[in-house]
């Protein structure tokens, strides 16, 4: 499997035709190995490898007894569920699909890259899960390539189009962030700052790039950047650092709503009005965004829909259906009072 755009993924029928046998013979060869000669079995395996149809994937898909579980390995602390806007909604979307299919999610939190890789290998190799949803992509993330080598069914959430051999769901917020920056500029702002999330995360980098591109398009220099780590506390600390600079920004785009809400408290303590002195916008559109004062302008990314779409695609794959190479979702700008 090369991951070339438009290339059809090989099927059991393709393997059977290449090896000159029936689909039943392919199934027997990849499961028990009985009922076929050693020579035929080797010919089937060679055909599977040549076509990029993974035997380990195939055996599980053909054995008629799926495990009924999909895996989610998260390289963060379990405490993330206490505050992170993404995971609660994403899991809700997953469960909305799995519950109707009598499937369940196996979640493992891991502290580092080595444990992460071992966990993927163990969960699939020891038959704890049928496949994985891969999210929280990092810059130069090695997981898609590793899972491809293992022959694991997977759906990758948040990968750029054409960057993975697996079906991907892209969440493109470029136009929504562009519209937000233009709104800031139209209301007179020229020094527009950004509070970025975790700089190791691909989605944090993408939001920053969209912000920078929109400013350059307007002929404006990007304002200062601080890092807030996607937490309320981190957002508050980043806002304090922005205010400590020689020339404070008059507008701030936060990479998450939680960071923006943390910024509210610091701006208020400094005697600065929102949006009169500093216009503010976030990202995520969490429920709380509509209820803070003033209501927070934000970009809605539809985390629950991402989870449900990813789960549905993976389940269809496990049933032998051909998945779409790319599923595109777009962010939506929700203008509220904080943006002015």
Is residue 7 situated within a structural domain?
A: no
45-51: list long-range contacts, CB under 8 Å, 24+ apart: 46/19, 47/15, 47/18, 47/19, 48/15, 50/18, 51/10, 51/14, 51/15, 51/18
289 and 322 in a single domain? The answer is no
Other CB atoms within a 10 A radius of the CB of residue 57 amount to 22
Q: Are 232 and 238 in contact (CB under 8 A)?
A: no
196 and 236 in a single domain? The answer is yes
pLDDT at 34: 53
Query: Could you list the pLDDT tens digit for every one of the 340 residues in the chain?
Result: 334 444 566 777 788 899 998 877 776 665 544 567 878 878 887 887 788 765 444 454 445 455 688 999 999 888 777 777 788 889 999 999 988 887 889 899 999 999 999 999 988 887 788 899 999 999 889 999 999 888 899 999 987 766 678 999 988 999 999 999 999 999 999 999 999 999 999 999 999 999 999 999 999 999 999 999 999 999 999 999 999 998 999 999 999 999 999 999 999 999 999 999 999 999 999 999 999 999 999 999 889 999 999 999 999 998 889 899 999 999 999 999 999 9
Side-chain half-sphere CA neighbours of 130 within 13 A: 24
Q: Which residue's entry shows tokens 């163990």?
A: 122
Q: Which residue's entry shows tokens 């890092």?
A: 227
Q: Are 124 and 150 in contact (CB under 8 A)?
A: yes
Other CB atoms within a 10 A radius of the CB of residue 234 amount to 20
Side-chain half-sphere CA neighbours of 15 within 13 A: 30
Check: pTM over 0.75? Answer yes or no: yes
166 and 50 in a single domain? The answer is no
296 and 187 in a single domain? The answer is yes
167 and 314 in a single domain? The answer is yes
Letter string b/e over residues 205-214, b meaning 16 or more CB atoms within 10 A of that residue's CB: bbbbebbbeb
Is residue 126 situated within a structural domain?
A: yes
Q: Are 64 and 28 in contact (CB under 8 A)?
A: no
Structural domains in the chain (count):
3
Q: Are 166 and 154 in contact (CB under 8 A)?
A: yes
102 and 30 in a single domain? The answer is no
164 and 307 in a single domain? The answer is yes
Give the C-alpha separation, 48 to 265, whole Å: 59
285 and 191 in a single domain? The answer is yes
DSSP 3-state of 291? coil
- CATH number of the domain to which 42 belongs: 1.10.260
What domain range is 34 assigned to?
12-62
Nearest-5° Cα angle at 227, 223 to 230: 125
85 and 144 in a single domain? The answer is yes
What is the SS3 assignment for 79-94? Answer: CHHHHCHHHHHHHHHH
Helix axes 23-30, 55-62, angle to 10 degrees: 110
pLDDT at 194: 98
- φ/ψ region of 137 (left if φ > 0, alpha if ψ in -120 to 50, else beta) reads beta
245 and 96 in a single domain? The answer is no
Is residue 210 situated within a structural domain?
A: yes
Is residue 337 situated within a structural domain?
A: no
pLDDT at 9: 64
DSSP 3-state of 134? strand
DSSP 3-state of 237? helix
Give the C-alpha separation, 171 to 104, whole Å: 24
CA distances 132 to 172, 201, 230, 245, 319, Å, are 22, 19, 24, 44, 14
Is residue 340 situated within a structural domain?
A: no
90 and 24 in a single domain? The answer is no
Q: Are 240 and 275 in contact (CB under 8 A)?
A: no
Sort strands 298-300 and 332-334 into parallel, antiparallel or unpaired.
antiparallel
- CATH number of the domain to which 77 belongs: 3.40.50.2300
Among positive and negative, which fits the CA dihedral 214, 220, 221, 226? negative
Give the C-alpha separation, 89 to 303, whole Å: 6
55 and 95 in a single domain? The answer is no
Is residue 179 situated within a structural domain?
A: yes
Across-strand partners of 220? Answer: none
């Amino acid at each position: 499997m090369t991951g070339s755009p438009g290339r059809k993924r090989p099927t059991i029928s393709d393997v059977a035709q290449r090896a000159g046998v029936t689909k039943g013979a392919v199934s027997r060869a990849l499961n028990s190995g009985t009922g076929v000669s050693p020579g035929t079995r080797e010919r089937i395996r060679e055909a599977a490898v040549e076509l990029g149809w993974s035997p380990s994937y195939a055996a599980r898909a053909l054995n008629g007894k799926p495990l009924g579980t999909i895996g989610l390995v998260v390289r963060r602390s379990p405490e993330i569920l206490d505050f992170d806007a993404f995971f609660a909604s994403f899991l809700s979307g997953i469960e909305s699909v799995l519950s109707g299919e009598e499937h369940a999610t196996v979640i493992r939190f891991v502290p580092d890259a080595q444990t992460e890789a071992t966990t993927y290998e163990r969960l699939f190799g020891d038959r704890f899960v049928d496949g994985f949803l891969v999210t929280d992509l990092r810059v130069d993330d090695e997981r898609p390539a590793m899972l491809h080598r293992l022959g694991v069914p997977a759906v990758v959430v948040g990968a750029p189009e054409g960057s993975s051999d697996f079906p991907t769901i892209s969440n493109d917020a470029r136009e929504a962030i562009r519209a937000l920056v233009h709104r800031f500029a139209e209301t007179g702002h020229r020094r527009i700052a950004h509070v970025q999330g975790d700089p190791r995360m691909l989605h944090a980098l993408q939001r920053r790039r969209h912000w920078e591109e929109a400013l350059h398009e307007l002929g404006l220099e990007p304002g200062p950047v601080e890092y807030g780590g996607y937490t309320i506390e981190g957002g508050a600390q980043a806002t304090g650092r922005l205010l400590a600079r020689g020339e404070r920004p008059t507008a701030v785009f936060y990479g998450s709503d939680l960071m923006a809400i943390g910024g509210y408290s610091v701006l208020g303590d400094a005697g600065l009005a929102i949006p009169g002195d500093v216009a503010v916008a976030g990202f995520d559109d969490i429920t709380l965004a509509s209820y803070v004062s003033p209501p927070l302008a934000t970009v809605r990314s539809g985390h629950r829909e991402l989870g449900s779409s990813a789960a549905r695609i993976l389940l269809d794959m496990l049933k032998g259906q051909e998945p779409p190479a790319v599923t595109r979702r777009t962010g939506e700008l929700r203008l509220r009072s904080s943006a002015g």
